[in-house]
Chains A and B, each alone.
Chain A
Amino acid sequence: MKRLCFLCTMLLAVAILFTACGTTGTTGTKGTSDTPGTAAPDGKSAAQGKPSEKVEVKLSTWAGSEEAAELQEIIDRLNKSSDTYIITQDSNPADYETRLTTQLSGNAGPDLFWVSASRGAQFAARGVMLDITDRLSKSGKPAANLDDYYDSAFGPFKVNGKIYALPWIMQPVVLYVNQDALDKAGVVIDENWNWDRFMEAAKKLTLDKNGKSLGESGFDKNNIVQWGFTLNGWPPVQMFIWQAGGEVIAEDFSSSPIDTPEALMGFNFYRELLDSGVVPSQQTIRDRGFDQMFRDGQVAMFMGGAADSLDTKVENFKCVVREVPAGPTGIKATFVDLLGMGINSKTKYPDVAFEALVDLAEEIHKWKVMPPRKSIGSAENMQSLHPERKDAFPAIVNSLEYSRPYRFYQDYPDWDTVFWNQLMDPIVNNNGKPEELVPKVKPLLDEALK
């Protein structure tokens, strides 16, 4: 009798424990379908994927409180108009990627999630995100029309021709300029804006406390009150290498051609900017704050993402947005940061999650600067959507035309760690010479690509 009692107790405890600790699944709690949908990319699992009642679709984002509140307004609108889903937002700006990675690894991830380009490439290659290629081709919704996106928009989210996430923002690096300082120095940015002109302008804009510019006789380099430009590893050296016609990762991912004359030209221009006196010392940048120095009028030109919106945030002077300079042979290139939104490949309701993804992407494209789509991202349309930045859009939209992301691949952080720690950190922080470092680091980068 005692044994029977013991056996029953243990069975009960184990059963309850499993019930209590078991997750309710990654998705909908209200759906009537008992059979979880498979992650089949063919979209034919509609019976499992589309329950008859509204399904809860969990969305994880890194949005801060203000951004999350704006996003919630969009979500509320979508939830009201949808018959199939209710999106619930879970915003975690602190350590978002670690949390998300852990959740997904433990099969407790959200249905939809924001993902950075680097993480997107890792997730896509590892089957963490749902392949949405076929669903996109079958959907008639505007945000699913691939032809409408910029060519570079899917780069990190595409593996072997399959698409794993929808990009929702493209942030090309643009040049924020203190127009008052430029006017005072007589600097004009026109269509011939290239490295030489940029360096010349940066020198003119580097002023000492007596108002003398760099290169002028009597210039006091120990009492600089305004620098022409600023660098601290950002903007990335890659864009200068692209402008010079070089690459850091070969198109077929077989090598890192950082020792080509073009790539070295890019590195050396970066070095020259650091050495020429137009850029504050790294210690000064660390002490005073990188973009803060621009906001405070201590730096005249600053390269930042289009969504940084410094032109609307700076109050002390007239801040305008311009394109970054072209390379010595006129090649235009700028780095673009991409952010995407993917579906958990283990979601219970892939079709509903896809519907929510496309609808949400459409709304976010209208909300954010810049959308990755040509139809929404024209200068005229953006000016009507964001009139407060109307002067900025011509430069931003032009930049998108020649912008490009890094060549992400599934182990890109391995390559990037070597690139930054062994090459760029010594160049930026320790006066490293590219011609000495590049031959040492290239084999390591090639090794990381294997």
Chain B
Amino acid sequence: MERYLATFGRWLLVPVCLFILGLGLYYLMRILRWDKQQATGLALISPWLFGFIGFTAIPIFYSLYLSFTDFSLFGKEKWVGFGNYIKLFTNDIEFWPSVRITLSYAVFTLPVGVFGSLLVALLINREIRGIRIFRTILYLTAILPDTAVAIIWRQLFNGESGLINFFLSLFGVNKIDWFGNPKYVLPAFVIISVWGIFGTNTIIFLAALKDVSKALYEAAEIDGAGGFKRFIHITIPQISSVILVQVVMSLIGSMQMFTVAQFLRPTTQAGLFMNQLVYTRGFTQLHMGEASAIAWVLFVIILVLTLLVFRTSPAWVHYETEVKDVKGIKNVR
């Protein structure tokens, strides 16, 4: 009991400290002649700010520093310059297979994830009896932990008694060893990713669909536009900004595949996902320097791909604040 009270007391001190630090920050800003309102605002967000600096910003930059060292979690690290990066690109037998499977997974799951969830959102964007129950049931898949999802999929992919092989056998397909044969590992993970289309992405699309003005559909209907044309010329442009967000978020999410792959443990010949490689290098092999380098390479890949998506977005994303003149040149209001 004594120990619990002591621990509890220490934990209680944390909010007290944060309060005092916030107060200190307020006074500091006032001394620096900040406006009272601004100083109060800064003081109020300071707990989050301290948390962000301490638990996110500093670790991010520290990991960048570590990627140039031979840090092994214990003892002093030694500066190795670009040694870890050179090793990764030139002499690491696991790195390129890892990049390949991670990128391939992203390429296949991105359209499945984005358009799959859009499709589901369209299906549940109807006012029929019991639709709220359907929506709730579909969203339930999103609240299951990844490990539980992995267990379910492991059963579904079971070679002998799994539903997937049973379904394929109806079409004369032989039993597939999904996680033992490197050829089928990626398809298996892409199939598993279908699970994700019923979750948060669908809800976001549903909200976007609800936001599309009914007047636009009515006007199009009067002009004789059919359902498909209304979808292409009204729905898609109207929700294109949400599609952009979903593409970016799904891209980042798919590049960070970890839990399900770590749990299902397919044959290593298919390659480890990059996040798995980071974990293995860091915590199994105790090469935190190399692990940090892989993490930064992953970050750069995600950054480049995200920037590419943003660069292409003016061609297909429509914002309500934008109007196009007759020549198709965009003007922002």
Contacts and interface: CB of A to CB of B under 8 A. Distances in A.
Interface of A: 2-3, 5-6, 9-10, 12-13, 16-17, 19-21, 24, 29, 97-98, 101-102, 104-105, 122-123, 126-128, 281-284, 286-288, 411, 413-414, 417-418, 420-422, 425-426, 429-430, 444
Contacts of B75: 126-127
A284 B21 contact: no
Contacts of B182: 429-430
Closest 6 CB pairs of A and B: A20-B13, A13-B20, A283-B177, A6-B27, A421-B268, A105-B73
Contacts, number: 110
A105 B161 contact: no
A21 to B, nearest CB: 7
Given A105-B73, A426-B269, A2 B180 contact: no
Contacts of A98: 283
Interface string B258-280: 00000000011100000000001
A96 to B, nearest CB: 11
B239 to A, nearest CB: 41
B3 to A, nearest CB: 7
Given A9-B24, A287-B160, A17 B17 contact: yes
A417 B285 contact: yes
Given A10-B24, A17-B14, A29-B6, 12 more contacts: A3-B31, A6-B31, A9-B24, A13-B20, A20-B17, A21-B10, A101-B286, A283-B159, A283-B175, A411-B285, A417-B280, A430-B182
A429 to B, nearest CB: 5
8 contacts: A10-B24, A13-B24, A286-B159, A288-B160, A417-B94, A421-B268, A429-B180, A429-B267
Contact of A127 (B16, B28, B74, B160): B74
Nearest to B21: A13
Contacts of A101: 73, 283, 286
A280 to B, nearest CB: 11
A434 to B, nearest CB: 16
Contacts of A17: 13-14, 17, 21
A193 B249 CA distance: 61
Nearest to A430: B269
A79 to B, nearest CB: 15
Nearest to B25: A10
Interface in B85-104: 93-94
Interface residues of B, number: 42
Given A9-B20, A9-B24, A16-B17, A283 B180 contact: yes
B20 A430 contact: no
A48 to B, nearest CB: 23
A2 B23 CA distance: 12
A426 B28 CA distance: 64
Given A122-B286, A283-B175, A287-B160, A429 B17 contact: no
B39 to A, nearest CB: 12
B158 interface: yes
Interface of B: 3, 6, 10-11, 13-14, 16-17, 20-21, 23-24, 27-28, 30-31, 72-75, 93-94, 158-162, 175, 177, 179-182, 267-269, 280, 283-287
A105 B16 CA distance: 28
B48 to A, nearest CB: 16
Contacts of B177: 281-283, 286
Contacts of A123: 74
A104 B285 contact: no
Given A122-B286, A418-B93, A286 B31 contact: no
B72 A425 contact: no
Given A10-B24, A105-B73, A422 B93 contact: yes
Contact of B24 (A6, A286, A287, A420): A6
A444 B16 contact: no
A430 B267 contact: yes
A420 B17 contact: no
B129 to A, nearest CB: 42
Contacts of A284: 159-160
B24 A413 contact: no
B161 A414 contact: no
Contact of A444 (B93, B158, B268): B93
A411 B281 CA distance: 11
Nearest to B11: A20
A430 B185 CA distance: 13
Nearest to A13: B20
A183 B24 CA distance: 83
Contacts of B283: 97-98, 101-102
A439 to B, nearest CB: 15
Contacts of B24: 6, 9-10, 13
Contact of B285 (A3, A413, A444): A413
A20 to B, nearest CB: 4
Nearest to B176: A283
A104 B14 CA distance: 23
Contacts of A12: 20
